[in-house]
Chain A
Amino acid sequence: MIRIISILVGAFFSLALLWSVGKGAVSYVTEPPKETVEHAFHLAPKEVEFESDGAFGKFDNQQLQRGFKVYKEVCSACHALKLVAFRDLKAIGYNDDEVKAIAKGFQVPAYNKNTGEVVTKEGVAADHFPPVLYAGQGTPPDLSLIAKARHEGPEYVYSLLTGYQEQPAELLKKFPDAKTPEGLHYNPYFANLNLAMPQPLTADDQVTYTDGTKATVDQMSKDVAAFLIWTAEPKLDKRKQTGWAVLGFLLFATVLAYMAYRNVWAEKKGH
């Protein structure tokens, strides 16, 4: 009895699915899905290597400091970094005085205790990077986690910054309605190809590097991407270090456990 019911239920689901397959196939043939412009022109992020890549990768503080400079002088005009406190910058090699000086350069929100008014004050080391007032088109996202909030985040940031270009003529020929709207900018690495952010890094030496590295657009893009890996995962170095210690211990313990196992079973045949 139960098997007859079971076969009937099985037939019910199978027929419902076959019906879906059939109808789906018919509509696939009668109205084949149209290729979208994103499908045709969106590009996966470029290949870039970062010092922190891979199981042995570590942050390069020099690079993180350059990246921070790019953030501070360019990106911070539009993007906040609210999960990062100024004092966190000590982890990338700034000393107390430098951190204090950096914090002082930012106006952070506060309120006047006497009047209850919302005011701003000079930042101190314990403050976080302040919210940014932005009046232009689009909404610049907070960058603290951006390197983890996109597929292949660090490569994506780099590709986005270096990917601005003219809209290809071929695109307009194939998709005449897809012209980049006024105020947006064509960038094939962005999900829908047109984004509100104007190209932020446009010329070599836009940021002055003090460590002798040549500040090309490519280099600045890479540095700021590296810096954003750090803001998204400040504990990356410690995580990998701990990982090696843990794996080393586990390997040792597992070898011991294996020997114990062989030993215990030694006189039992055929296991």
Chain B
Amino acid sequence: MSFPWANEYKPSHPLMQWMDEKLPLPRFVYNAVGAGYPVPRNLNYAWNFGVLAGFCLALQIVTGVILAMHYAANTGVAFDSVEHIMRDVNWGWMLRYAHANGASAFFVVVYVHIFRGFFYGSYKAPREMIWLLGVVIFLLMMATAFMGYVLPWGQMSFWGAQVITGLFSAIPLVGDPLHTWLLGGFAPDNAALNRFFSLHFLLPFVIAGVVILHIWALHIPGSSNPTGVEVKQESDTVPFHPYYTAKDGFGLGVFLIGYCALLFFFPNALGHPDNYIPANPMQTPAHIVPEWYFWPFYAILRAFTQDFLFIPAKLMGVLAMFSAILVWFFLPWLDRSPVRSGHFRPTFRKFYYALIVDALVLGYCGGSPAEEPFVMISQIAAIYYFAHFLIILPIVSAIERPDPLPFSITEAVLGSDETAPAAA
């Protein structure tokens, strides 16, 4: 589906005409990311991050597949096989650092992408399905990254796996058998490492599949835009190619500069030194912390220190940690404001900025040891987190008075739109 004024694919070369009759793949590409896809003309750089996320996924798959040719998923040799990649495989150090830092870059990009959605109300009708699929992708990414981090079989790999799989044992009745079944044992060992490797290899391709659905769903209403006013007419749009291929190309260059600076000059800055110590089930590290992109959720997990209404603290923490992401699924129905963009929602905007600060505070606490004052700060920050989505958004969206919207994207960009009704 697209707008009636979309350019039509007209192959001039006979070979391409032949191809178009047999398998219209070029037509498909033309309509998906080519000149046949009209896009709002006023997208800012926040709209670049979807393309960047797709790039990161491709990067992880390419580097990951090559790493997998040299990696050995066996607890006896996994650690040394990673060091073999670092030392003996040609350009192995670059592949491994590209993959490990690629995961971080991927999460940076996806977090910006998600917070773009929060601000511009991208989750609202008619784009709920795009949003829901996005949350599924995020959950799959978290599972993939968690299992990937276990593969080098360092101290943090082992103890991270121990802590996170241990969460399942908090589930009443079935918890312990479920935990043992998931791990294939009572603690992470060879069985767990092997299944994690298998799933870590598989899930990125599942993600790629869901990404296709995500983009398919996007192409039905088309992209939203910073004003949140829907496209009305041809002058509101430009063809994706060359306008956004050029803009996204520049954005990709800027992204790559930052990513490569990290990869080549600070490749271990985001990692934990303990993961350069081979896994040792007999020796617990002083502080067990996950990778940075899990810190906000880890802080929420640890914030529940007391049993509540006969629910054990650990179970509360697990429920809350999963709920922290699951609430995103309900967002389209919790925020009832008819206005999408935060630009025109003065009250919402203040809470949005508070949410950013809150997420950063949670992240900082999640990476810190579980002692005061971090525990108390994360408890208060977690209250705000849940209150923001579950209490504040439903209420604010019902009572807030939004600012006046422009008539159209054209008016927002050019200052006037001749199709607008005179002096409203």
**Residues in A lying within 8 Å of B, measured CB to CB:** 2-3, 6-7, 9-11, 13-21, 23-25, 28, 33, 55, 83, 88, 141, 144-145, 148-151, 153, 191, 232, 234-235, 238-240, 242-244, 246-247, 250-251, 253-254, 257-258, 260-261, 263-265, 268-271
A194 to B328, CA, bound (A): 49
Interface presence of B336 (CB below 8 A): yes
Is B249's CB under 8 angstroms from A145's CB?
no
Main secondary structure of the interface of B (DSSP, over half): helix
Interface-facing stretch out of B3-11, B167-175, B252-260, B288-296: B252-260
Is B273's CB under 8 angstroms from A148's CB?
yes
A33 to B373, CA, bound (A): 11
Within 8 A of A (CB), among B355-412: 371-372, 375-376, 379-380, 382-383, 386-387, 389-391, 394-395, 398
A28 to B359, CA, bound (A): 25
Closest B residue to A88 by CB, please name it: B87
Select one of B41, B371, B382, B386 contacting A33, CB under 8 A.
Answer: B371
A142 to B316, CA, bound (A): 41
Could you mark each residue 313-347 of chain B with 1 if its beta carbon is under 8 Å from any beta carbon of chain A, else 0?
A: 10010001001000000100110100000000000
* Additional pairs, 20, CB under 8 Å, beyond known A6-B391, A16-B320, A20-B303: A2-B334, A3-B394, A6-B330, A7-B390, A7-B395, A10-B390, A14-B391, A16-B304, A17-B386, A24-B375, A24-B376, A83-B80, A88-B87, A145-B276, A145-B277, A235-B93, A240-B264, A243-B260, A246-B260, A261-B249
Interface presence of B274 (CB below 8 A): yes
A231 to B263, CA, bound (A): 19
Within 8 A of A (CB), among B33-64: 41-42
| Size class of the B contact interface (CB-based, 8 Å) | 35 or more
Which residues from B are CB-within-8-Å of A7? 390-391, 394-395
Select one of B41, B238, B253, B333 contacting A2, CB under 8 A.
Answer: B333
Is B382's CB under 8 angstroms from A251's CB?
no
Could you mark each residue 277-310 of chain B with 1 if its beta carbon is under 8 Å from any beta carbon of chain A, else 0?
A: 1000000001000000000000000011110110
A150 to B395, CA, bound (A): 49
A156 to B361, CA, bound (A): 29
